[in-house]
A = this chain, B = another copy of it.
Amino acid sequence: MCGIFGVRGNPQAAELVHLGLYSLQHRGQESSGIVTVDDAGRAHSVRAMGLVSEGLAESEMPELTGSVGIGHTRYSTAGSSVIANAQPVVASVRGGAVALAHNGNLTNATELRRELEDTGAIFSSTMDSEVIVHRIARSTAERPELRLAEALTGVEGAYSLLVLIGDTLLAARDPRGWRPLVMGRLGDSIVFGSESCALDIIGAQPEREVEPGEIVVVDREGVRTGARLEASESRRCVFEYVYFARPDSRVFGGSVDRARRSLGRRLAKEHPAPNADLVFSVPDSSNSAALGFAEESGLPYELALIRNHYVGRTFIQPTQGARDAKVRVKYNAVREVLDGKRVVMVDDSIVRGTTTRGLVAMVRAAGAKEVHMRVSSAPVTGPCYYGIDTPTREELIAANLTIPQIAEHLGVDSLGYLSLDGMLQSVPDGPHGFCHACFSGDYPTAPPTDPDKLRAGCGC
């Protein structure tokens, strides 16, 4: 997954992008970058591995001159963690500089790349995103928005894009609108961010989502819809509401916090735990859902798990051989809350089940008498080809075990997943127009011909 941010019309463009990326850090911690274009059309860029606060020094921002800029934070995926795959992609093409920041995954990237290579293109990275830059370079259209529209025609899959062609800033979303992209204003400047929290941090006013299939242009003449791609049925990613986006954000026009509260309430209706003493969340992403569960069920909401936010991203070797050593570095249980209690533990999703299993053991070790696991989404049974780094089917616990088997594996007294219907009816503007392929197997596109390569070197 990735976060993208852009601004045009502000002399402090780089500083604003820098701040915006801070608030999108949860969407990607592997690498980050910023590109600006100055009045003379020169691109200035910085890219680095690691967190924004580690890699992108504030002291470098003044060197990124220009009043238009875009930035990107990239998710950590196995095997491709190299600086060559940091974004924004920046290149010099006919007419000047092009830069691109991409959130999502293309499903026909392999084919598009082969086609480009066969006609003489050279690639500097293994990212699917680079094919879009080549297609922009090859477009014969003159107006930037038409170059981008031409470049995107025939590109399949998920993309929310921020593109600089010279000093023109373009924002685009694929026709199905998998990934969010919010537009707003800060004084006279136009601002874009993956989520509204990125607008909040700089004090900008959110205005609207870039629409699926829309290309928004921001240039000297102002801001306008520059082109529309061929329409398709909307397929917003429901997982953004369930887990990915920040609770203080609005995405797809809806509040993430409200979505999760609603998911939690629905979960309490579908899978009550009538004899439980209390409910708690796996912090922090499940807090809203757990509060919703508490509200609906009438059970008291407690803080039973504490998360250590100082843990770095480096892997910590378990020293004691204990199964749950890794979990203990990140979480701790509060015995005074749990001891002797029948508890409901709410999590937003279960992917491999490893962490959940460790947490359940921790909760029991702290004295819980009964553990009732409640999950505010449906079982994840398939990989995502549209930008979320889910593992292969072999590693997805719900693709391989029945729910009773999962309950046994996790060591819980009961286990309830929210139903697919319940989930879709709980999110804003549901139940239609969402992608739920990883839950339902209902993939809106043909799967990529080479999903492994895609995962290893994706744009997201």
Q: Which residues of B lie under 8 Å from residue A138 when comparing CB positions?
A: 119-120
A320, B137: Cβ atoms under 8 Å? no
A-B contact pairs, 30 of them (CB 8 A): A12-B319, A15-B319, A19-B316, A19-B319, A19-B329, A22-B308, A22-B310, A23-B308, A25-B308, A26-B310, A51-B312, A52-B310, A58-B314, A58-B316, A90-B124, A92-B122, A92-B123, A94-B117, A117-B137, A186-B320, A200-B332, A201-B332, A203-B322, A247-B306, A248-B334, A255-B334, A257-B303, A257-B337, A291-B302, A295-B300
In the assembled complex, the CB of A34 is this many whole angstroms from the nearest CB of chain B, namely 14
Q: Tell which of B134, B291, B333 touches A303, judged by Cβ atoms closer than 8 Å.
A: B291
A303, B54: Cβ atoms under 8 Å? no
User: Cβ of A287 < 8 Å from any Cβ of B?
Assistant: yes
Q: Which residues of B lie under 8 Å from residue A122 when comparing CB positions?
A: 91-93, 98, 121-122, 133-134, 137
Q: Which residues of B lie under 8 Å from residue A316 when comparing CB positions?
A: 19, 22, 58
Q: A interface vs B, CB < 8 Å?
A: 12, 15-16, 19, 22-23, 25-26, 29, 51-54, 58, 90-95, 98, 117-124, 126, 133-134, 137-138, 186, 197, 200-203, 246-248, 255, 257-258, 284, 287-288, 291, 295, 300-303, 306, 308-312, 314, 316-317, 319-320, 322, 325, 328-329, 332-337
Q: Which residues of B lie under 8 Å from residue A22 when comparing CB positions?
A: 308, 310-311, 316, 329
**Cα(A301)–Cα(B281), bound, Å:** 14
A123, B255: Cβ atoms under 8 Å? no
In the assembled complex, the CB of A127 is this many whole angstroms from the nearest CB of chain B, namely 11
Q: Lowest 7 CB-CB distances: which A-B pairs, in order?
A: A53-B312, A120-B138, A25-B310, A91-B122, A255-B336, A248-B306, A94-B117
Q: Considering only CB atoms, which chain B residue lies closest to A186 in the complex?
A: B320
Q: Which residues of B lie under 8 Å from residue A133 when comparing CB positions?
A: 122
Q: Which residues of B lie under 8 Å from residue A337 when comparing CB positions?
A: 257
Q: Which residues of B lie under 8 Å from residue A52 when comparing CB positions?
A: 310, 312
**Cα(A301)–Cα(B303), bound, Å:** 12
Q: Which residues of B lie under 8 Å from residue A203 when comparing CB positions?
A: 320, 322, 325, 328
